[in-house]
Amino acid sequence: MASQTVTKHRQIGLTDEQVLEMYTIMLKARRYDERALLIQRSGKTAFHISGIGQETAQVAAAFALQKQHDYFCPYYRDYGVVLSAGMTLHELMLLSFVKAEDVNAGRQMPAHFSHRKHHIVTGSSPVSTQVLHAVGIALSAVMDQEDRVAFTSFGEGSSNQGDVHEAFNFAGVFKLPVIFMCENNQYAISIPAHRQVAGRVVDRAAGYGFPGVRVDGNDPLEVYQAVKEARERAVRGAGPTLIEAMLYRISPHSTADDDMIYRTKEEVEYHKEQDGIQKFRAYLLECGVLDEELDRSVNEEVMRELNEATKYADKAPYPSPEDALKHVYAEDGGGI
């Protein structure tokens, strides 16, 4: 651990323990994702939507925020975000298997995250609605004069929704403490980014009067640094920041999609080689935070946790049928 480059994480304020934890969570997200596909293909679950190729940016962004203090309004590929914010593989597997113990009690599709204790805001399938919620949460932080920020993410396809632009403008006008992160994974289902977005997503920030930063999403330290700076701006009252993390969606859009209809195997293979997790592993090995033996034990521990989570969720009971009628309204009438 000699050169300046290999100790970059310390320079930007990350400890060895933190980067190791980041690496562990990236692995958890990746292994969960692979397992979720297998259980869907074997007929045990109905659906999976993948975040493979985006874990580095997701974990890095979440690590630049304060757990159980700042709020997370993630989108449906953000396994890395929610695992960093406090959700466990156990909880994610219950969500995949839609069992009674799942945070949503089997009501939502997998990847529709929610966890109030961890400040992970409940999400839905219509894209980008959460971006406005983040602005509302930021507004409440300003009203209460609290130093918390709201983080929200979305794809480049979803960045075309009116809600995103209404959110940018609202947050820009009131200089609200929001961090908008576009995970530009190059595809909106089958449509490549150049056919989906006119200009660059990052440049849109300028139109709303706040800074936009484009980062290499496969470089967790770069992402971490950008989000950290955005958070500092936000809490000092300087307003929102848009971060565009450049990534590549390795998997098809979802288990119901055949990506070979609209892109080539060679293209996918090329991007697999750019895998941010492998690069981060190499960095950690290089700077001595990780060695082969530790790596093996980290991987084994992740697999052990994943296997237990899968087994448990597979066997856990489904919700009772009549649970369908619960929680439409507050049971006590919601008197406040």
Partner 1 sequence: MENEEHGTEVTLPHLAESLVSATVGRWLKQPGDYVQEYEVLCELITDKVNVEMPSPMEGTLTRILVQEGDIADVGAAICLIRGSDSANETPVEPAKAATQKKDKDEADQRTRYSPAVLSLAEENRIDLRKVQGTSLGGRISRKDVLAYIMNNLDSKPAASPESKPEEKAAPANRVVPENASDSRTEERKEPAASMFTAEDQIVPVSPIRKMIAQRMLQSVSEIPHAWLMIEADVSGLVALREKVKESFAAKEGVRLTVTPFVLKAVVNAIKEYPMLNSTWAEDNIIVKKDIHVSIAVGSEESVVTPVIRNADRKTIAGLAIEMEELIAKARNGKLTLSDMQGGTFTFNNTGSFGSVLSVPIINYPQAAIITLESIVRKPVVVNHDSIAIRSMANLCLSLDHRILDGKICGLFIQRVKQYLEKYDENTVIY
Partner 2 sequence: MSMLKTGVAYKMAIMTYLEAIRSAMSEEMERDENVFVLGEDVGKGGVMNATKGMRDRFGERRVLDTPLAESAIVGVAIGAAMVGKKPIAEIQFADFIFPAANQIISEAAKIRYRSNNDWQCPIVIRAPYGATGGGGLYHSQCPEAVFFGTPGLKIVAPSSAYDAKGLLKAALRDGDPVLFFEHKKCYLYVSDEVPDEDYTVPIGKAAVKREGDDITVISYGMTVHHVLKAAEEVQKEGISAHVLDLRTLQPLDVPAILEAAAKTGKVMIVHEDNKTGGVGAEVAAIISEHKLYELDVPIMRLCAPDVPAVGMAPTLEKFYLPNADKVRDAMRLLAEM
Whether 262 is a known active-site residue: answer yes
Is there binding between residue 316 and partner 1 (CB under 8 A)? yes
Residue 318 has what DSSP assignment? P
DSSP-derived secondary structure for 34-54: HHHHHHHHTTSSS-----TT-
Using CB under 8 A as the binding rule, whether residue 85 contacts partner 2 is answered as no
| CA gap 156, 185 in Å, rounded | 7
116 is catalytic: no
Binding window for partner 1 (CB under 8 A); candidates: 5-13, 58-66, 87-95, 310-318? 310-318
- With 0-12 / 13-18 / 19 or more C-beta atoms within 10 angstroms meaning exposed / middle / buried, residue 291 is exposed
Q: Of partner 2, partner 1, none, which one sits near residue 190, judging by CB under 5 to 8 A according to partner kind? A: none
DSSP letters spanning 152-163: EEEETTGGGSHH
DSSP strand pairing (191-192 vs 212-216)? unpaired
Does residue number 88 form part of the binding site for partner 2 (CB under 8 A)? Answer: no
Q: CB-wise, 140 or 255, nearer to partner 1?
A: 255
Q: How far apart are CA 13 and CA 224, in angstroms?
A: 10
- Given a contact cutoff of 8 angstroms between Cβ atoms, the answer to whether 143 and 82 are in contact is no
Query: How many angstroms separate the Cα of 294 from the Cα of each of 16, 287, 298?
Result: 13, 14, 6
Query: C-beta of 87: minimal distance to partner 2 in Å?
Result: 12
- Of 233, 253, 271, 283, catalytic: 253
Q: Which of 37, 49, 65, 150 binds partner 2 (CB under 8 A)?
A: 150
Question: How many Å apart are CA 2 and CA 307, to the nearest integer?
Answer: 38
Q: For partner 2, which residue of 5, 11, 15, 124 counts as binding (CB under 8 A)?
A: 124
- To the query of whether residue 107 is one of the catalytic residues in this protein, the response is no
Instruction: Using the rule CB under 8 A, give the single segment among 34-42, 135-143, 194-202, 285-293 that binds partner 2.
Output: 135-143
Q: Which range touches partner 1 (CB under 8 A), out of 71-79, 157-165, 284-292, 316-324?
A: 316-324
Alpha-helix runs per DSSP H in 88-128:
89-96
Q: Contacts from 278-286 at CB under 8 Å and sequence distance 24+?
A: 279/56, 279/218, 279/219, 280/22, 280/23, 280/26, 280/56, 280/220, 281/23, 283/6, 284/19, 284/20, 284/23, 286/6
Calpha distance 82→120 (Å, rounded): 7
Contact with partner 1 (CB under 8 A) among 256, 269, 297, 326 = 256
Closest contact distance (angstroms) between CB of 174 and partner 2 is 8
Report, in Å, the least distance between residue 28 CB and partner 1: 18
Closest to partner 1 by CB, 134 or 313: 313
Secondary structure percentages of the chain, helix, strand, coil, to 5: 50, 10, 40
> Tokens 């890095």 identify what position?
60
Give Rg (Cα) of the chain: 20
- Looking at the Cβ atoms of 175 and 263, the one nearer to partner 2 is 175
Q: How far is the CB of 135 from partner 2 (least distance, A)?
A: 5
Contact between 255 and partner 1 per CB under 8 A: yes
Q: How far is the CB of 328 from partner 2 (least distance, A)?
A: 5
Binding window for partner 2 (CB under 8 A); candidates: 35-43, 107-115, 192-200, 291-299? 107-115
Residue of 246, 252, 287, 305 interacting with partner 1 (CB under 8 A): 252
The two tokens of residue 219 are 């470089």
Nearest 5°: phi and psi at 58?
Answer: -65, -50
46 is a site residue for partner 1 (CB under 8 A): yes
Q: Which residues bind partner 2 (CB under 8 A)?
A: 71, 73, 102-105, 107-108, 112, 114-116, 121-122, 124, 126, 129, 131-140, 142-143, 150, 162-163, 166-167, 169-170, 173, 326-330, 332-336
Residues known to be catalytic? 249, 253, 262
Q: Which residues bind partner 1 (CB under 8 A)?
A: 35, 38-44, 46-47, 100, 252, 254-258, 314-322
